[in-house]
DNA sequence: GGTAAAACCAAACGACCGTTTGAATCATAA
DNA sequence: TTATGATTCAAACGGTCGTTTGGTTTTACC
């Protein structure tokens, strides 16, 4: 990931993703980060201006495509004559699954994403809300059309629980460990299947 | 919470809970913490030995009772002739709800609990697993007896998702904000009801 | 090949961190 | 009242942090 044929900026972003996932944003120091990326300590401030801005760029590098994929899939589903709840959920979950299978750091980034949920960093939340908040809004509208029996408050509760559970599950936060014989791909695909089935049942309940 | 009629140790524990919830364990400094508690900087190391041990004691103060309540409720439910899935879930969720309604920092502690899930702090995880791991094991066995059609792997997936979603929801991590007119108590009780219904449907699915 | 911009680098800055020290103060029992 | 142990306190220690500086090297273009 940090091979010499990558540019300095790319090596910094790769090392940042890895260390943010492992140690959190405050817990990852620029000294360890620049040593991992094999660049000078001052390179972060030279190329990104500050550590805070580096955090933003780590998210932008992945979320632009993740959000585009989710919205594109959602539009495909909503264009169908009779979209199902499972299809809408899949539009949300499947791009995250693909990202977690990405060969160059995608799985790591999903863990960084979970960090962002957990840390109530106001500055980061504002950045994410301003740049990617519209995606969640569109999914909320799609779910609402599928579940007219739920009032707005009830619907928000359930979507909220799903978003938290999805983040938790995709980041492999829990205790479960795949058997060594099971490939990472199958492991994650089963996770997504379980989550979709689980979430759809929970959304339809009552 | 930090009134002068509380002992130095109690004032430190109260301030620690508050600042750990707001800033995380590494993000809360002993200088800000002792200033909040109105005690001398050296008091933490004098009474608790180290910051790490203070973190442990913040958890012990609440988790001893939370775990006892959960196990007691679980035993009551399992003693019934026909325990339901909802009742087992309630045995897990309801004590956390009660804690979140506690007048003296319980709601704050639930947010600290969510921090512990999110931060992959190996030292803290070991402490929690050694002291409270048996609680989760007993609940897993109870769920397994209720869901014989699920193999062990499938069951663990679903329990894992529930534990994550519970932590997420109870800590009020999400975007939803209760209306000002709705009391905190009703807000939390509805959250627990929703979560139980949601989780039961997800566990029963397929 | 000369030149201006871009990139890189070692070193240092000031700030904050957890912890330790040793003396001052308090409580309590003889 | 005096002696003793528990507690509190201001001050300092060594270390790590993000950031800045000023000079050196590399790159790109006429």
Share of chain A above pLDDT 90, in %: 49
Compute mean pLDDT per 10 residues along chain B, 206 residues long, and list them.
Answer: 70 95 92 96 96 96 94 97 95 89 82 83 87 92 93 82 76 52 70 82 81
Same domain, yes or no: B41 and B108: no
Q: Is the Cβ atom of A32 within 7 Å of strand D at any atom?
A: yes
DSSP H helices in chain A: 8-23, 30-37, 43-48, 51-79, 85-101, 106-118, 122-146, 152-170, 184-204
Q: Is the Cβ atom of B75 within 7 Å of strand C at any atom?
A: no
Nearest of A195, A198, A161 to residue B202 by alpha carbon: A198
Which residues in chain A are contacts of B129 at CB distance < 8 A?
Answer: none
* B91 in a structural domain: yes
Q: Which domain holds residue B145?
A: 60-204
Q: Is the Cβ atom of B7 within 7 Å of strand C at any atom?
A: no
Same domain, yes or no: B41 and B95: no
Residue A182: the pLDDT is 59
Q: Residue B1 is part of a domain; what is its CATH number?
A: 1.10.10.60
Distance A40 CA to D21 C1' (A): 15
Lowest mean pLDDT among A144-148, A175-179, B80-84: A175-179
Cβ-defined contact of A161 to B26 (cutoff 8 Å): no
Classified as helix, coil or strand, B203 is helix
Q: What are the tens digits of pLDDT across the range A42-68?
A: 999 999 999 999 999 999 999 999 999
Same domain, yes or no: A31 and A93: no
Same domain, yes or no: B32 and B8: yes
Distance B8 CA to C30 C1' (A): 28
- Residue A163 tokens read as 């978003």
Same domain, yes or no: A77 and A175: yes
Residue A206: the pLDDT is 67
Q: Are A158 and B198 in contact (CB under 8 A)?
A: yes
Same domain, yes or no: A134 and A105: yes
Q: Are A154 and A162 in contact (CB under 8 A)?
A: no
Look up residue B4 and give its DSSP letter: T
Nearest of B17, B61, B64, B57 to residue B36 by alpha carbon: B17
| Domain count across chain A | 2
* B54 in a structural domain: no
Nucleotides of strand D within 7 Å of the protein's CB atoms: 7-12, 16-22
Nucleotide nearest to B9 (CA to C1'): D7
Same domain, yes or no: A150 and A113: yes
Computed over every residue of chain A, the mean pLDDT equals 86
Distance CA B119, CA B201 (A): 29
Same domain, yes or no: A109 and A181: yes
Look up residue B83 and give its DSSP letter: -
> First CA to last CA across chain B, in angstroms?
48
Same domain, yes or no: B187 and B88: yes
- Residue B95 tokens read as 């004590």
Same domain, yes or no: B94 and B180: yes
């Amino acid at each position: 990931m940090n091979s010499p044929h990558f540019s300095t900026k790319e090596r910094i972003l790769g090392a940042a993703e890895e260390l943010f996932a492992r140690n959190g944003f405050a817990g990852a120091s620029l000294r360890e980060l620049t040593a991992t990326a094999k660049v000078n300590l001052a390179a972060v401030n030279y190329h990104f201006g500050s550590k805070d801005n580096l955090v933003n760029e780590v998210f932008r590098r992945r979320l632009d495509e993740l959000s585009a994929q989710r919205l594109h899939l959602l539009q495909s589903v909503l264009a169908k004559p009779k979209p199902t709840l499972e299809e809408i959920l899949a539009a949300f979950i499947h791009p995250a699954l693909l990202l977690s299978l990405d060969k160059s750091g995608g799985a790591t980034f999903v863990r960084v994403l979970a960090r962002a949920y957990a840390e109530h960093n106001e500055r980061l939340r504002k950045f994410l809300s301003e740049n990617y908040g519209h995606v969640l809004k569109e999914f909320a509208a799609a779910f609402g059309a599928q579940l007219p029996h739920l009032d707005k408050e009830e619907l928000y509760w359930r979507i909220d629980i799903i978003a938290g559970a999805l983040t938790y599950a995709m980041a492999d936060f829990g205790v479960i460990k795949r058997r060594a014989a099971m490939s990472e791909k199958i492991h994650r695909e089963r996770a997504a299947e379980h989550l979709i089935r689980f979430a759809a049942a929970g959304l339809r309940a009552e």
